[in-house]
């Protein structure tokens, strides 16, 4: 019979890898707590409408990449293609706007689905860590969100990443910019790809982000948002830079970043690795002052980012980061005979109840093979129970590191290993 395989573009995280994820997740949680951010978990599925309105129907994600289906009640449902829209939906639905501002929220390990061509660093299911800080207009908030990401990379031992920042301005700046951009592009309309031609009227700024070589060539000399900022947006961007300077965070100003989602206003940024190939963006985000209103709330500003956990892991591995090893088994019971096996079963459970990891033979291995297995497990101690030990009511405990042996009464094992 043919074996069933995982859907294309998905990945299993094996036991030999999952401890790395745990380390990353732990570090993220600790860091979020230092910044006062709290976790908000949202469902994997949302009404499709949320992403049409939230992410924007001229974005690649919405136009080409969503996993959308009708459920049995004929509702159009979409698997989360990004984290922010769901967070904002939950924020509004649960009236978190009544809480003191800013609301600092984060999500972790959030399954994210995009129907893309699978390749290195690009999956159909990936996982994102992200933060959303809601309620503040101040440039310190943008800088703090960026700082949180950069601090995370530092804590995880990755120094090689570069921070690229830009401002795409507000609605006001965008009007002036769009006019200038369209004036420049209009002569090239025939040479552009179909998608960009349709973007020309709806959302011309997105053409800057096109991956088609011919479009890239055309936009090389096109105007950039950063030269069309209104006084307020200019001041805000200066403020963000001043905060990053004050915090000693290096960055480059990259006028090419416009981001692939419609909701951004003002600051946008990407954190890029040079070492993991073409899919080098590990983290991307920015300010989105219009999204909350767009999704039915009162106007509230916000800033956040999404970070691809698979790409982060790839960067860490590429940078030779040493992951803390998963904890070893502390005690392995090697038992000989049925009565001894039962004893090992019970004692093992007692140790676990005291928080001491322990293991015994599940495979009916020979006495000798049990020792071999204990070595494979890299157990710190073996506790031997044979006929003599049963009679004496004590196990022979061997420390695997130095080979020393001690006889420890069964009822004292808990204390001994604590």
Binding mask 344-373 for ligand ATP (x = CB under 6 A): ------------------------------
Q: Which helix (H) or strand (E) holds 268?
A: strand 267-272
CB nearer to ligand ATP: pick between 147 and 282: 282
Count of all residues that appear for the chain in the document: 418
Q: Give the separation between CA 202 and CA 262, rounded to whole angstroms.
A: 11
Binding mask 76-115 for ligand ATP (x = CB under 6 A): ------x-------------------------------x-
Minimum CB distance to ligand ATP, residue 209 (Å): 8
Q: Which helix (H) or strand (E) holds 111?
A: strand 103-113
Q: Which one of residues 229, 282, 302, 384 is an interface residue with ligand ATP (CB under 6 A)?
A: 282
Q: Segment 309-338, which members bind ligand ATP (CB under 6 A)?
A: 310-311
Pairing mode, strands 331-335 and 381-385: parallel
Q: Give the separation between CA 220 and CA 198, rounded to whole angstroms.
A: 19
CA dihedral 276, 159, 163, 253 (to 10 degrees): -110
Q: Segment 133-162, which members bind ligand ATP (CB under 6 A)?
A: none
Residue 281 as a binder of ligand ATP (CB under 6 A): the answer is yes
Give the binding range for ligand ATP (CB under 6 A) out of 193-201, 234-242, 301-309, 347-355.
301-309
Residue 306 as a binder of ligand ATP (CB under 6 A): the answer is yes
Residue 132 as a binder of ligand ATP (CB under 6 A): the answer is no
Binding mask 369-398 for ligand ATP (x = CB under 6 A): ------------------------------
The pair of three-digit structure tokens given for residue 334, joined into one six-digit string: 């090697």
Residue 122 as a binder of ligand ATP (CB under 6 A): the answer is yes
The pair of three-digit structure tokens given for residue 340, joined into one six-digit string: 């001894």
Residue 260 as a binder of ligand ATP (CB under 6 A): the answer is yes
Q: Which one of residues 53, 80, 126, 398 is an interface residue with ligand ATP (CB under 6 A)?
A: 126
Q: Which residue is nearest to ligand ATP, using beta carbons?
A: 308
CB nearer to ligand ATP: pick between 186 and 278: 278
Q: Give the separation between CA 400 and CA 380, rounded to whole angstroms.
A: 6
Q: Which one of residues 283, 315, 374, 394 is an interface residue with ligand ATP (CB under 6 A)?
A: 283
CA angle 209, 215, 217 (to 5 degrees): 105
CB nearer to ligand ATP: pick between 20 and 122: 122
Number of CB atoms found within 10 A of residue 248's CB: 7
CB nearer to ligand ATP: pick between 292 and 314: 314
Q: Is the peptide bond before 326 cis (omega within 30 degrees of 0)?
A: no
Question: How many whole angstroms from its chain centre is CA 26?
Answer: 12
The pair of three-digit structure tokens given for residue 135, joined into one six-digit string: 């309620």
* Coil, strand or helix at 336: coil
For helices 139-155 and 15-34, angle between their N-to-C axes, nearest 10 degrees: 140
| Chain residues that interact with ligand ATP, rule: CB under 6 A | 82, 114, 116, 121-123, 126, 128, 260, 279, 281-284, 306-308, 310-311
């Amino acid at each position: 019979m043919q074996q069933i395989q995982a859907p294309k573009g998905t990945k299993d995280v094996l036991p030999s890898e999952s401890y790395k994820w745990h380390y990353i997740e732990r570090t993220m949680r600790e860091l979020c707590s230092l910044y006062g951010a709290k976790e908000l978990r949202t469902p994997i599925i949302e009404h499709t409408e949320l992403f049409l309105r939230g992410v924007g129907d001229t974005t690649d994600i919405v136009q080409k990449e969503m996993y959308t289906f009708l459920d049995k009640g004929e509702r159009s449902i979409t698997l989360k293609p990004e984290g922010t829209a769901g967070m904002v939906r939950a924020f509004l639905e649960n009236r978190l706007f009544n809480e003191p501002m800013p609301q600092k929220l984060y999500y972790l390990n959030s399954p994210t689905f995009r129907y893309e061509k699978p390749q290195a660093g690009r999956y159909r299911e990936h996982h994102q860590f992200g933060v959303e800080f809601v309620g503040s207009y101040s440039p310190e908030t943008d800088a703090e969100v960026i700082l949180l990401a950069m601090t995370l990379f530092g804590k995880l031992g990755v120094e090689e990443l570069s921070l690229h920042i830009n401002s795409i301005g507000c609605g006001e700046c965008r009007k002036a910019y769009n006019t200038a951009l369209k004036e420049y592009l209009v002569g090239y309309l025939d040479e552009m790809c179909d998608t960009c031609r349709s973007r020309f009227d709806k959302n011309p700024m997105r053409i800057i982000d096109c991956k088609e070589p011919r479009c890239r060539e055309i936009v090389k000399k096109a105007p950039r948002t950063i030269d069309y900022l209104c006084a307020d947006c200019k001041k805000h961007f200066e403020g963000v830079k001043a905060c990053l300077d004050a915090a000693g965070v290096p960055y480059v100003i990259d006028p090419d970043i416009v981001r692939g989602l419609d909701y951004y206003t003002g600051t946008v940024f990407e954190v890029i690795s040079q070492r993991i190939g073409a899919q080098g963006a590990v983290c991307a985000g920015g300010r989105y002052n219009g999204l909350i209103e767009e999704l039915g709330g009162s106007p509230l500003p916000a800033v956040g980012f999404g970070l691809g956990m698979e790409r982060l892991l790839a960067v860490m591995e590429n940078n030779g980061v040493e992951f803390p090893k998963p904890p070893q088994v502390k005690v392995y019971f090697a038992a000989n005979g049925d009565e001894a096996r039962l004893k090992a079963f019970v004692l093992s459970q007692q140790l676990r109840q005291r928080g001491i990891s322990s293991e015994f033979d599940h495979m009916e291995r020979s006495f000798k093979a049990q020792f071999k297995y204990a070595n494979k497990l890299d157990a710190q101690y073996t506790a031997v129970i044979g006929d003599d030990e049963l009679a004496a009511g004590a196990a022979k405990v061997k420390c695997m590191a130095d080979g020393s042996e001690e006889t420890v009464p069964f009822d004292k094992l808990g204390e001994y290993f604590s």
